[in-house]
C-alpha cells in the first residue's frame, strides 16, 4: 500500500437485523462511497500529511454524532460522527482495524439503546399520570401499556448484555489500554451508567401502571359480574311479585 494514499474501509453490521456481529469491508471508491445508518467509514492515513488531509475532509462534513480523539505514541484515532480517521504504523493497521470493529460494535449498540430509551422515557412521562389513579377509561390502553412494559424489560435485558459485551470487548482486545482510552474519550461508561438510571425509571413507571391496571381490571370484572347478579335477582323479584299480584286479583 503506497504511503501517499489513504485507504478506506466500512465498518457495518453483518446484517440489518443484527447489531451484535460486525464486519470490515474495503471501500474501493474511498470517500465517495456512501456510508449510512449504523455504518462507519474508516480512513487509514499512513503519514502525518495524510492524517491532516483526512481531518480537513471530515471537519468540513455536517455534524453527525460524537466527536473525540485518542493519541498514543504513533497511534492516532479521530472520530467525527460516522467518520473515523486512523493513523498508525502500516504493520499495525489490521490489528487497529480489528480493535475499531469491536469498539464500534459496542458504541453503536449504546447509541441504539439510547435512542430507544429516550423514546420510552417520553411516553413514560405522559403515562406516569396513570400510576396514581386508575379507572375504567384506561382499560382500552392496557395492551399499549403492556407493550411499553415489555419494551422496558427488553431494554433492561439489552442493557445487561451490552454491559457484559463492553467488558468482554475490552478484556479480549489485543490492546486493552488503547481500547480503554477509546471508551474513556467517548464517555461510553458514563453513558451506560446513565442508561441504567433511565431504564430503571421506565421500568418503575410501567411496572406500576401494569400492576395497578391488572388489579383494577380484576376488580372491574368482579364488579360487573356482581352487578349482573343483582340485575338478575331484581328481575326475578319483580317477576315474583308480579305473579303474586296476578294471583291476588
> How many CA atoms does the CB half-sphere of 173 hold within 13 Å?
25
Report the C-alpha dihedral over residues 70, 33, 105, 192, rounded to 10 degrees: 60
- pLDDT for 223: 62
pLDDT computed for residue 193 by the predictor: 92
Residues in CB range of 69: below 8 A, 6 or more apart: 76, 77, 78, 79, 185
Residues of the chain with pLDDT under 50: 1
Q: How many residues are there in the chain?
A: 249
Amino acid at each position: 500500500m503506497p504511503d501517499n494514499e489513504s485507504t478506506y474501509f466500512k465498518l457495518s453490521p453483518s446484517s440489518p437485523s443484527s447489531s451484535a456481529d460486525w464486519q470490515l469491508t474495503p471501500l474501493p471508491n474511498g470517500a465517495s462511497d456512501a456510508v449510512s445508518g449504523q455504518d462507519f467509514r474508516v480512513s487509514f492515513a499512513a503519514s502525518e500529511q495524510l492524517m491532516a488531509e483526512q481531518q480537513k475532509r471530515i471537519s468540513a462534513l455536517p455534524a453527525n454524532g460524537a466527536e473525540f480523539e485518542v493519541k498514543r505514541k504513533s497511534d492516532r484515532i479521530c472520530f467525527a460522527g460516522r467518520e473515523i480517521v486512523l493513523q498508525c504504523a502500516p504493520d499495525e493497521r489490521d490489528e487497529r482495524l480489528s480493535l475499531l470493529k469491536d469498539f464500534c460494535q459496542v458504541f453503536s449498540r449504546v447509541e441504539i439503546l439510547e435512542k430507544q430509551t429516550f423514546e420510552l422515557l417520553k411516553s413514560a412521562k405522559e403515562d406516569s399520570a396513570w400510576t396514581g389513579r386508575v379507572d375504567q377509561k384506561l382499560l382500552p390502553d392496557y395492551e399499549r401499556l403492556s407493550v411499553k412494559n415489555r419494551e422496558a424489560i427488553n431494554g433492561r435485558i439489552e442493557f445487561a448484555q451490552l454491559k457484559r459485551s463492553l467488558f468482554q470487548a475490552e478484556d479480549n482486545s489485543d490492546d486493552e489500554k488503547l481500547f480503554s482510552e477509546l471508551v474513556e474519550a467517548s464517555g461510553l461508561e458514563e453513558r451506560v451508567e446513565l442508561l441504567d438510571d433511565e431504564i430503571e425509571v421506565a421500568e418503575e413507571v410501567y411496572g406500576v401502571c401494569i400492576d395497578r391496571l391488572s388489579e383494577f381490571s380484576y376488580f372491574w370484572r368482579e364488579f360487573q359480574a356482581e352487578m349482573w347478579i343483582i340485575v338478575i335477582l331484581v328481575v326475578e323479584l319483580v317477576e315474583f311479585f308480579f305473579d303474586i299480584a296476578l294471583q291476588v286479583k
